[in-house]
Structure 1
Amino acid sequence: MNSSTSSSEASSEAAWRRFAVFLVAMTILTVVGIIAAAYVIDPYDTGRSRLFARDGVRPQGPRTANASRGRDPSFDAAIFGNSQIQLLSPERLNQRTGFNFLQLAVPATGPKEHFVLMDWFLKHRAGPVKALVVDSDETWCISDPAMPNFRPFPFWLYAANPLEYAKGLMRYDILEEMPRRLGYVFGKKPERARPDGYWDYEPNYLNLGYDTRPEVRARLEKPYYASEPTFPSDPKADQRTFPVAGKLKEFADSLPQETALVVVHPPRYKNYLPPVGTEEGYQDQACKAAMKAALAGHPRSAVVDWRIDRPENRNPDYFFDLSHYRQPLAMAVEADIAKALQGMR
């Protein structure tokens, strides 16, 4: 009786082990199959597979759409940054410069993401790149050499290593995106995300009443910095470090001489400008100086600085909030960028 029971239990255990191995094997095969299908379908049009190729992607956020846009060979110039530079119009810059600009700004991003997108754009150029315009805001003035990103970003999508890209495909949203990609590829007239990447945020702000609601307009008049001027001279001269400036120098020095590089310090409303004589003010000036010095080794480079006290930055009608400006300022910044580019010719 004991021998029979023991034999039965052993047989049952062996059956469970076989079942468990089968489940594990099927799970692995399923995951590998999904990754392989995603790699072939290429849901974000990264160019890693051409089996289901069709120019562009369906309408979606720039974090993923820029993988496709950045490969478009028709563009010979590009804009990089976050929402503080996204209002710059490629069409208007094209008219002023004769270049063909692409807008690759991504809201809520910092230098780490910007350099990734710049590398992606450059890697996919067959011909010469005429100009790169990049937004250098306060996120470029951090002291952390890791350049931490503040919001999630799909670094895997732009990875040079195919294994890193494949690993990134292991996510639930890929299961949703694959059929959407196939619908876009095989659709007769599918809606396409704007090829030049331009997104005018003015209508969104206007719909939310940012130009009319008194409580929103009142925020503009509240100073952002609490500190008052206390230092007659820089208390930390030669002590501040800006790792992003080092990264910018490496990047600028690696560019072909014919490629123009323009660093833009975007506009700020007067109450978001660091007061002169404060630690924040000295930090801002030191950061700007570091960025300018980083460009010294590249002959075709310039800085366009709108993060200063000037009449336009004192006009509340030009701003939705402390750092998001309106079309009149966007056009003024574009004019300065075009002037800087013309001065390099």
Structure 2
Amino acid sequence: MNSSISSSDPARWRRFSAVLLAVAAAVLGLIVAATYATDPYDTGRSNLLPKPGVRPQGPRTAAASRGRDQAYNATIVGNSHIQLLSPERLKTSTGLDFVQLAVPATGPKEHFTLIEWFLRHRERPVRALIVSADAMWCNPDPAMPNDKPFPFWLFSQSPLEYLRGLLRYDILEETPRRLGYVFDTDAERARPDGYWDYEPDYIGLGYDRDPVLRQRLEQKPHGKAALVEHDPLAGKRRFPTAEKLREVARTLPAEAALIVVFPATYTNFQPPPGTEPAYHDAACKKAITEAARSHAKSAVVDWRVQRAENQEASLFFDMSHYRQPIARAMEADIAQALAKLN
């Protein structure tokens, strides 16, 4: 066998393997160092490229930049069930600078991560925290599970977890895009306040007129729920989200208002009174409300009830995604609640 490294020379193979591993480790270290310095999602961990904001992208990653933007002293946190609330309209009615940190298809675990990120990066007093508590907040599982991926590493306080998060292919793709955004003076910036009006998307898919899609509103998910005289689990239900919210409420600055919103849902999506799902929902709301009230400056805006707007099919795209008229009405209730707290 003609080779400078003979298979009968184990020592040479070991040296070759060691050199190969050392080179690979060095290359990997350089890649991580470069991506860390580039700070592809503008987390503020590196000041090498100080241009604020990020290029247009999904809210999962854009939230890291938006959540630490000092232009805002108030935030809205939740998923697509609250994303139609407009920071601009709320500023007009309240005078506060809101940033939308709503991320579609997320649950309470993600919401608390975003809340903590926002609060951790305030350099001026927080004035308001609006938290959307939809049906996912009523899951009794303490793990607060959600089946959609979320970059928890991006918002972690642990430097090691953040560095591990940089070891992925999509970061290699994002780094040159970040450089293009930073050095191109005409590069488009993702909307700083995070607002995303989903109405055009739903209309484009026919949710306002397609007979098959409209028919879905007539379904009754709780139609088979039996009537029961009393809550079979009265006093035994536990809601980990309420416990976590209580922790947030107790550590929130005294001057900050905490507004919990139970977002609007179509009438058929709400469980009939006297059924086990209705008792569960009522117990969940009560636990979350009590947790919020552990903060002196707090209020609850409940739209997950049987009210006239929630019985109007034309105001909904599906069971839990409403249209602008309801969003504006919810904003008015929030503004009124904030006014009473000041």
TM-score scaled by length of structure 1: 0.96
SS in 2 for 1:220: helix
1:291 alignment partner in structure 2: 288
Q: CA deviation at 1:227?
A: 2.4
CA separation of 1:27 and 1:226: change in aligned 2, threshold 3 A: farther
2:36 alignment partner in structure 1: 39
CA separation of 1:8 and 1:277: change in aligned 2, threshold 3 A: closer
Aligned partners of 2:84 and 2:327 also within 8 Å: yes
Q: CA deviation at 1:14?
A: 3.0
1:154 alignment partner in structure 2: 151
SS in 2 for 1:102: strand
1:258 alignment partner in structure 2: 255
Q: CA deviation at 1:138?
A: 1.0
Q: CA deviation at 1:8?
A: 6.1
Matched, 1:200 2:189: no
Q: CA deviation at 1:141?
A: 0.7
SS in 1 for 2:176: helix
Aligned partners of 1:141 and 1:242 also within 8 Å: yes
Aligned partners of 1:227 and 1:278 also within 8 Å: no
Larger CA Rg, structure 1 vs 2: 1
CA separation of 1:15 and 1:293: change in aligned 2, threshold 3 A: same
1:222 alignment partner in structure 2: 219
Instruction: Summarize deviations over 1:141-179 as a string: whole Å, max 9, x none.
Output: 111112123211101000111111111100000100110
CA distance in 2, matches of 1:227, 1:290: 26
Matched, 1:72 2:69: yes
Matched, 1:60 2:96: no
Amino acid aligned to 1:10: S
Gaps of 5+ in 2: none
2:8 alignment partner in structure 1: 10
1:3 alignment partner in structure 2: none
TM-score scaled by length of structure 2: 0.97
1:172 alignment partner in structure 2: 169
CA distance in 2, matches of 1:203, 1:8: 67
Amino acid aligned to 2:263: P
CA distance in 2, matches of 1:174, 1:229: 51
Amino acid aligned to 1:136: A
SS in 1 for 2:289: helix
Q: CA deviation at 1:229?
A: 4.1
Matched, 1:238 2:240: no
Aligned partners of 1:58 and 1:184 also within 8 Å: yes
Instruction: Summarize deviations over 1:84-130 as a string: whole Å, max 9, x none.
Output: 00000000000000101100000011111111111111111111111
Q: CA deviation at 1:309?
A: 0.6
- Is the deviation greater in 226-235 or in 288-297? 226-235
Aligned partners of 2:217 and 2:319 also within 8 Å: yes
Amino acid aligned to 1:42: D
Runs (4+) of structure 1 exceeding 6 A deviation are none
Percent identity between the two aligned chains: 59
1:119 alignment partner in structure 2: 116
SS in 1 for 2:224: coil
SS in 2 for 1:10: coil
- Is the deviation greater in 291-300 or in 301-310? 291-300
Aligned partners of 1:229 and 1:275 also within 8 Å: no
1:30 alignment partner in structure 2: 27
CA distance in 1, matches of 2:73, 2:222: 40
Matched, 1:132 2:129: yes
CA separation of 1:337 and 1:183: change in aligned 2, threshold 3 A: same
Q: CA deviation at 1:9?
A: 4.9
Quote the RMSD (CA, aligned, Å). Answer: 1.2
Aligned partners of 2:225 and 2:275 also within 8 Å: yes
Aligned partners of 1:110 and 1:150 also within 8 Å: no
